[in-house]
Structure 1
């Protein structure tokens, strides 16, 4: 393990990793929790260098398309330029707001806007949401675009909207209703998707049409996702990660064959599922799918791991966040071995090498937005580290990130969706 590691004290220590991943078209950067300062800070530092020095043109994150499209327009100097970054991020409404509305993300977005301001439009770096939860928000965006660009298709959009009206923008109510009656809104959103695809293809160089298309894809897959959840199997995970991988491909195609992108998601999405026990139950994830689909273009998967410290998380879905302790690593886990071998922050690069540690099936900690430190032993994913990632960044001590606003805890409980790690 020590032979793979280099000390990590400042941005210059990322040089070997930069050299390794710079030629790739897709660099996927994970996080071992959604609430840790070090993961967000160093992911941003790595991303900044790849944007500045190697021309990466887009960042895709584990967020909703409509919310992130608004950020995309802002960082590229196209809309809402009267807002500062804190006012912009105050517009996030979906729980957990702190996942993106935090100081670490704000600093990166503020830098990205300044970086873009000095460059022509074609060289600016965008910011896109890859996730699938935005059913109603995406439908609203589609209707608005059709009203302005294809009024003859508005009727189909309104049929889809009317199908969902009885559920009052409550996806759980809709999902449970599909278990009780055979009628669903599936065909309505599929028909709408076909309508938008046809019209967007006629305007393939139009940013607004691209936005409408991605919203239509999100709406169709969100309907499928919520309907799959209530069956109680793992298919909803696959619906979500396939959607995110498809969105990555769609952004890359839209920006052209020379565009290079960064993907920010949890380790459970970034690390190749085939190197975990997820594969045993038929689950796939973004890292696996991007490797399989884009190997010829170059793909790198970079994970994070941490020892003890603190983290922002919630006791239950929809409740207020709080700072929680992260206990010492579970005995026999990857994190325990890393802590024994590497007392300081470190960069480990695997370079396709093998060895006892890289090929050992050991637990690798994954903290989601809901966490209970007393049950930390249940937060470990059996992992072949050398096959799951191309590189790993390790911190023996970590601190909670800094949210810009606190949750009220007013949002109702969500169905168990495993949205951001296990």
Structure 2
């Protein structure tokens, strides 16, 4: 603990706004990184979301970061991105309509405030912040229309075949949850045919005489989505392979965006994705963080979040959301030791801290760690070696459950 305290920096607050002087050291830790992953120990804790908002604001205003990528679908992010760039639409309505089904835990006041701040920042900034979706569980009708509109103006001969290949997908009902349920309900043979068509549409565009990298990315996402819907999640081998594919694809999307734009990007995801090592390799064999390190080397920085205890929201197997509690951290866990540091809330550069041999040994030993899934019931304390998983850890003494955006009356 003495060694950790030497490198720990007090965090003034987990709430965004006010002075960022206490984050100066954090900003310096990110220099040299083009992609900074900021994890969350749960998908449903208020302070984990607000501290992420606070770190994002610091990186945008002080370090020139220009994108915020999330573990949400590409098409959902496209709507949010349009809002933060132009003010198009009603943000509450967008979040309500896009953050459904597995994404419903993100429809919170905390993210409403985060995107609201990005919109205000973009009103006057010469370097607007974009919003990027790394996931591919859904594609809205507008995504197909963007592809077809581009083709009509640049490769009109492709339009009839593209329409044929996307016909079944475009025929799915509107509404994220309704569309995903209808897609899942299709017979497996039909879902496999759809995946073949989506792959063929992508090949058609990738082999065209005229190409647009953004259109290709839209088509690539659709192909990834269609492949995912052919998975039998009751088969452990298929589920494990699909999880592997998902983390790899999210990493490739973040790298694609960074290289396409040249800007620095914050990647927001669960700790289980942002980390270099998986806490549950039987389900997630290789993490997005490991893929990012492979793809860009030390241009990726992994930041984990940690908590001693508190509340979080999660969904049951039937899809209902509830509030649950964990902690305080048990003796022998990573959080138990972190919480003994004299600061209530703090962040620590684990790369620097491991210069102390005693700390280095502690960091490299796997011990129980809060890695709280979005589903309940769960097993929230798998073994993880912090020093092998993250470069930086932000520790919070206690957290409250995130606050859902109220439904309109």
TM-score of the alignment, normalized to the shorter chain, above 0.5 = yes
Query: SS at 2:258's partner residue?
Result: helix
In structure 1, the residue matched to 2:266 is 262
In structure 1, the residue matched to 2:81 is 72
Unaligned 5+ segments in structure 2 are 14-19, 174-178
Give the paired residue count: 384
TM-score between the two structures when normalised by the length of structure 2? 0.84
In structure 1, the residue matched to 2:160 is 155
The within-5 A match list for 1:260-339 is 260-273=264-277, 276=279, 278=281, 283-295=285-297, 298-316=299-317, 318-319=319-320, 321-339=321-339
Q: Superposition RMSD on alpha carbons, in Å?
A: 2.9
In structure 1, the residue matched to 2:16 is none
- What is the alpha-carbon distance in structure 2 between the residues aligned to residue 282 and residue 106 of structure 1? 29
The 3 A distance-change label for structure 1 pair 356 and 252 is same
In structure 1, the residue matched to 2:66 is 57
**More moved, 129-138 vs 359-368:** 129-138
- What is the alpha-carbon distance in structure 1 between the residues aligned to residue 390 and residue 133 of structure 2? 23
- The CA deviation at 1:267 is 0.3
The 3 A distance-change label for structure 1 pair 159 and 348 is same
- What is the alpha-carbon distance in structure 1 between the residues aligned to residue 313 and residue 55 of structure 2? 22
- What is the alpha-carbon distance in structure 2 between the residues aligned to residue 224 and residue 130 of structure 1? 16
The 3 A distance-change label for structure 1 pair 365 and 229 is farther
- Report Cα offsets for 1:42-77 as digits up to 9, x if no partner: 111111111111111111110111111111122112
Q: Does the CA-based 8 Å contact 2:188-2:230 persist in structure 1?
A: no
The 3 A distance-change label for structure 1 pair 94 and 87 is closer
- What is the alpha-carbon distance in structure 2 between the residues aligned to residue 358 and residue 102 of structure 1? 33
In structure 2, the residue matched to 1:417 is none
The 3 A distance-change label for structure 1 pair 152 and 397 is same
TM-score between the two structures when normalised by the length of structure 1? 0.82
- The CA deviation at 1:87 is 3.7
- Report Cα offsets for 1:381-420 as digits up to 9, x if no partner: 321111110110111211011111359xxxxxxxxxxxxx
- What is the alpha-carbon distance in structure 1 between the residues aligned to residue 284 and residue 117 of structure 2? 40
In structure 2, the residue matched to 1:129 is 133
The 3 A distance-change label for structure 1 pair 281 and 89 is closer
- The CA deviation at 1:199 is 5.3
- What is the alpha-carbon distance in structure 1 between the residues aligned to residue 209 and residue 67 of structure 2? 21
- The CA deviation at 1:344 is 1.1
Unaligned 5+ segments in structure 1 are 205-209, 408-422
- The CA deviation at 1:125 is 1.4
In structure 2, the residue matched to 1:219 is 222
